[in-house]
Amino acid sequence: MADGSRPNREYAHRHLRFGWWSMLVFAGLGLLLETLQGFKVGAYLDVSNETRRMLWRLAHAHGTLLGVVHVLFGLTLRTEADRPLPRARLISRTLTLASLLVPAGFFLGGFGFVGGDPGLSVLLVPIGAVLLLSALFLLGSTVGGDEAAKGAGSRTKER
Amino acid sequence: MAPTTPAGDSWRPLGLVLVAALGFSGALAYGSLRVRTPHRPETAHAERPIQVADGGFVSSDTCRACHPGQYASWHRSYHRTMTAVATPTSVLASFDRVRVDQVNGRPMFLERRGDELWAEIDEPDWDGQGDAPPRIRRQVVLTTGSHHQQIYWYATGHGRLLGQLPAIQLAAERRWVPRRSAVMHPPDVPLVSESGSWNGICVQCHTTNGRPEFSTPFGAENLFVQTIDTRAVEFGIACESCHGPANEHVAANRSPLRRYGLHLTRTPDPTIVEPRRLDVHRSSEVCGQCHGLWEYYDEAAERQANSEGLPYRPGDQLTKTRFIVQPTLNLDSPTLKRLLKEDPNFVSDIFWKDGMVRATGREYNGLIDSPCYKNAVEGARTLSCMSCHAMHKPSGDPRALDSWADDQLKSEALGNDACLQCHGSLRDTVTAHTRHRADSVGSSCYNCHMPHTTYGLLKTIRSHQINSPSVQATLDTGRPNACNLCHLDKTLEWTSRYLDQWYRIPPPPALGSDERSVAASILVLFRGDAGQRAIIAQALGWAPAQQTAGTDWMAPFLSLLLTDPYDAVRYIAGRSLKTLPGYESFPYDFVASPDQRIVMRRRALDAWRDGGSAPGHRGEAALLFNPDGTFIAEQVTRLSAQRNNRRVFYRE
């Protein structure tokens, strides 16, 4: 059992689903941005809205790429199905939260911006970035490691 | 069982991929550097003035990162292009092996050498030795202007000293004309070299913090023995011309905490000047630093500006560091007395006799003598440049940047709302006030209170001194009044009668017989100086005046001006003539030879004579017509002899 309660396949299923849905949502945002571009909507295209344009593009790009990260994470967990991932719950939650905060921070920062400064919601981005880096660090240090898996297993048993 | 791969071998493919990727990236970077034109650092240009952001200035490139919207509207403005490095994209004219005959002297030849622009001309600084000036080939390095005209400056080869090409490009027609033909210049005054003019004069207002850096004052000795190291923070009038040096602002606002603190508390940033937040006098002075006629108080001030740039900074009191010429206030000041001693026409060339400015580019002088400025007691109800103009296109303005950039007027200042900001009580009583239909040009505040009596750049613009029509002022100064600039066919006596009847403005004690019997416009056209004739020539082509006064009588008067001694007057007359029905494609070239101009004038008159005999205005005595439509010859001859032939030289 991974992380004491759920097997890898359950996390894999969750992240695969999150990843594909995330890609759908943020690819959809891309389509919306293209529509704004196509119809020359001033609120998006005017030079005075350059900050908004940049932030919304960042939201689109980060959201989509983080969706891909979730899919990769899900696939990784599937390939490691027989080796429970230590701290899987923490990694899963951290990655999921990061994938919400980073694109949301960029997107919402596109409202209420002043000149070249994004709206205050952009503060969600560094929080999300720290969570993302933490999740990646945890993943990098635990995935595929037999010793780690053993350690995690023993800790699980101790509980 | 497959053989197990040693751990070292598993890294080998990855290493190969990395090496290949690095090699590919390196090749790409090298290739892109090879195809890109090598960028020459600004300081490497020893042959022309350079742009160096120092002395607390940072240049507009830095401002762009945080203020993209403001940067974009400024970038589209003609302020930016007031001076530009000459490149194939910045010049209006073609340099592709062009021969230009419209110059004084031998033709000018232009050519492109890659991205460089070159000209072959007669040496304008010829010392007079030999039969003719030598031909010189010089690189054109800077341009001035892009809205109405573009002037070209070449590297003389003496330090950063620039010379001027002998012809300039008219933007609307995209044609070359001799330099002198583009300004109001007395025909009998010899042409002088313009070498050094950009370094010594233009640099002050056509760049950001320009410094002439002449070893001795411009004009004090031969330019070619002086050391000239002209530089500016930036070519064109950029952000820091109006907001002040931004180094401190940039440094302070690297901190996001500070920026968001200012955003959230809506606190003005004390590290930069926002002209809109200054009081009306200080904010108008920001514009007045260039749109005003000024002089140095003394030679020490000139030397300081020469090496450090003009000391005025936005927010300062302008008169602390320079003398603003305002004949209504300071005619007796020592500075103006000194200037008049050096040039007795210093005031009369630029101001009407009552002190109203008559040359363009001096709008600030008009503003500060306006009652809406000098008599106002409330800041919020005091006229300032910002009352009508916006230096950045407002976000709610639906116009394209190009339309806004023309005069940089706020959209609400395009009509009567400009004045109704303060004179709101007139909103519902327009007709009662103007005595004209509310939707007619006679009900435009601008037309009556800011008529086109200021001249410059081959056109007239609205006076920026708010005033009311006055026949007495016309008699005293010779300045056409607003009523007669629209009612071109009416006499001063007619205007005087209506002003008395409608506004209780007492008529002048005694009007001469001509003022009672001849249309005011015709009197100015015959008797006026070149500046006055230019005003009437333009009015005759002004659509509102044509609707009001009819057009069937105008051609012969405009045709008389086709042979005016002043190039500028001829140009405007020719342009107005082409607005008349039947003359749209009339072939007239204002710089053609005098003989050709006489022929063209005759043709224009013939076309008018042959253009039908509908009575219209052609039989009116006030327009010098006999009842049969022919001219009252003796009147024409008599008035022609009264022309004011004083030399008119505008400091445009």
Q: How far apart are CA B353 and CA B348, in angstroms?
A: 7
Q: In the beta sheet, which residues pair with residue B359?
A: B455
Asked, for residue B313, whether it belongs to a domain, the answer is no
Instruction: Report the amino acid identity of residue B453.
Output: T
Residue indicated by tokens 């009575």: B615
Q: Which residue in the block uniquely carries the two structure tokens 């943020």?
A: A26
Amino acid at B94: S
In a domain, B225, yes or no: yes
Place of tokens 């606002």: B253
Give residue B552's identity as a one-letter amino acid code: D
Query: CA angle B635-B537-B505, nearest 5°?
Result: 75
B316 pLDDT band, cuts 50/70/90, is: very high
Q: Nearest CA of chain A to the CA of B69: how many Å?
A: 3
Q: CB A49 to CB B67 under 8 A?
A: no
Residue B12 predicted with pLDDT over 90: no
Predicted TM-score (pTM) of the model is: 0.87
Domain of B636 in residue numbering reads as 468-640
Residues in chain B with CB shorter than 8 Å from the CB of A114 are 259, 263
Residue A151 near residue A3 (C-beta atoms within 8 A): no
| Per-residue pLDDT at B624 exceeds 60 | yes
The predicted structure's pLDDT at residue A47:
82
Q: Which of A48, A115, A120 is opposite residue B66, by nearest beta carbon?
A: A115
Q: How many CB atoms lie within 10 A of CB B22?
A: 10
B470-481: b (≥16 Cβ within 10 Å) or e: bbbbbbebbbbb
Residue B596 structure tokens: 């050709």
Contact criterion met (CB < 8 Å) for B71 and A47: yes
**What is the reported pLDDT for B9?**
55
- B404 occurs within a structural domain: no
Phi and psi angles of residue A130, each rounded to the nearest 5 degrees, phi first: -65, -45
Would residue B343 count as lying in a domain? no
For helices A88-109 and A124-142, the axis angle rounded to 10 degrees is 150
Per the rule left: phi > 0, alpha: psi between -120 and 50, beta: everything else, B523 is: alpha
Q: What number is the ipTM of this complex?
A: 0.73
Question: In the prediction, which pLDDT does B23 show?
Answer: 79
Cβ distance of A48 and B69 shorter than 8 Å: yes
CB count in 10 Å sphere of residue B348: 17
Residues A59 and A106 sit within 8 Å (Cβ to Cβ)? yes
Q: Which of B205, B235, B265 is the last residue of a domain?
A: B235
Residue pair A128/A102 in contact by the 8 Å Cβ criterion: yes
Stretch (H or E) spanning B116? strand B116-122
Output the pLDDT for position A7.
75
> Does residue B498 form part of some domain?
yes
Q: Quick check: is B511 in a domain?
A: yes
Over chain A, what HEC string results? CECCCECHHHHHHHHHHHHHHHHHHHHHHHHHHHHHHHCCCHHHHCHHHHHHHHHHHHHHHHHHHHHHHHHHHHHHHHHCCCCCCCCHHHHHHHHHHHHHHHHHHHHHHCCCCECCECCHHHHHHHHHHHHHHHHHHHHHHHCCCHHHHHHHHHHHHHC
- Residues from chain B that touch A46, judged by Cβ atoms under 8 A, are 69
From A62's Cα to the closest Cα of chain B, the distance in A is 22
Residue A95 amino acid letter? L
- Distances in Å between the Cα of B139 and the Cα atoms of A92, B92, B116, B202, B504 are 67, 16, 7, 19, 63
For residue A77, give how far its alpha carbon lies from the nearest alpha carbon of chain B (Å).
23
Q: Chain A contacts of B67, Cβ < 8 Å?
A: 115-116
Residue B375 covered by a domain: no
* Cα B155 to Cα B132: distance, rounded to the nearest angstrom: 22
Of B53, B56, B60, B57, residue with least CA distance to B392: B60
DSSP characters over B63-105: HHHH-HHHHHHHHHSTTGGGEEE--TTT-SS--SSEEE--SSS
Quote the minimal CA–CA distance from B23 to chain A in Å: 27
- Residue in B65, B66, B68 nearest the CB of A47: B68
**What's B253-295 look like in SS3?**
CCCHHHHHHHHHHCCCCCCCCCHHHCCHHHHHHHHHCCCCCEE
- Cβ–Cβ contact A154 with B under 8 A: no
Query: What are B549's two structure tokens?
Result: 């006064």
Which of A46, A49, A115 comes nearest B67 by C-beta?
A115
Residues of chain A in contact with residue B71, where contact means CB-CB under 8 angstroms, are 47
- What are the beta bridge partners of residue A41? none
Domain boundary among B174, B208, B235: B235
Of B120, B116, B114, which is closest to residue B98 (Cα–Cα)?
B120
Buried b (16+ CB within 10 A) or exposed e, B68-91: bbbbbbbbbbbbbbbbbebeeeeb
Closest alpha carbon to B563 in B598, B539, B527, B524:
B598
A89-139 confidence digits (pLDDT tens): 999 999 999 999 999 999 999 999 998 999 999 999 999 999 999 999 999
Q: Which residues pair with B232 in a beta bridge?
A: B51
- The closest alpha carbon to B361, from B467, B262, B289, belongs to B289
AA letter at A75: L
- Indicate the range of B76-80, B298-302, B376-380, B384-388 predicted with least confidence: B376-380
Could you tell me the residue ranges of all domains in chain A? 8-158
- Digit-coded pLDDT (tens) for B110-141: 999 999 999 999 999 998 898 999 999 999 99
Put simply, the answer to whether B72 touches A47 (Cβ < 8 Å) is yes
Contact A117 B260 (CB under 8 A): yes
Using pLDDT thresholds of 50, 70 and 90, give the confidence band for residue B612. low
Closest approach of A23 to chain B, Cα-based (Å): 28
Residues of B in contact with A109 (CB under 8 A): none
SS3 state of residue B169: strand
Q: Is the pLDDT assigned to residue A148 strictly greater than 70?
A: no
Are B68 and A48 inside 8 Å of each other by CB? yes
Using CA atoms, how far apart are residues B510 and B226, in angstroms rounded to an integer? Answer: 59
pLDDT of residue A158: 38
A45 to chain B: closest CA residue: B69
Question: Which tops the pLDDT comparison, A150 or B593?
Answer: B593
Confidence of residue B616 (pLDDT cuts 50, 70, 90): low
What is the pLDDT at residue A1?
46
pLDDT for A137 = 96
Give B6's DSSP letter.
P
CA distances from B6 to B10, B289, B627 (A): 7, 79, 117
Residue A154, pLDDT > 80, answer: no
Nearest to B525 by CA among B549, B567, B476, B558: B558
CA B46 to chain centre: 30
Nearest residue, CB atoms, B263 vs list A48, A51, A114: A114
Mean pLDDT calculated for residue range B391-419: 94
> Which of B182, B202, B235 lies at the terminal end of a domain, its last residue?
B235
Residue A152: pLDDT over 60: no
Q: Is B639 within 8 Å of B527 (Cβ atoms)?
A: yes
Q: Looking at chain A, which residue has its C-alpha nearest residue B75?
A: A47
Q: Are strands B108-113 and B116-122 parallel, antiparallel or unpaired?
A: antiparallel
Question: What's the pLDDT at A135?
Answer: 96
Write phi, then psi, for B465 (nearest 5 degrees): -100, 110
Q: What is the pLDDT of residue B628?
A: 84
Whole-angstrom distance, CA of residue A32 vs CA of residue A38: 10
Select the residue of A48, A49, A116 nearest B66 (Cβ to Cβ).
A116
Confidence of residue B20 (pLDDT cuts 50, 70, 90): confident
Distance CA B491, CA B35 (A): 70
Per-residue burial over B281-317, b if 16 or more Cβ lie within 10 Å, else e, is ebbbbbbbbbbbbbbbbeeebbeebbeebbebbbbbe
Residues in chain B: 652
- Structure confidence at residue A159 (pLDDT): 37
Q: What is the pLDDT of residues B220-263, one digit of tens each?
A: 899 999 999 999 999 999 999 999 999 999 999 999 999 999 99
Chain B residues in contact with A49 by the CB 8 A cut-off are: 69
Spatial distance between the Cα atoms of B588 and B603, rounded to a whole number of angstroms: 10
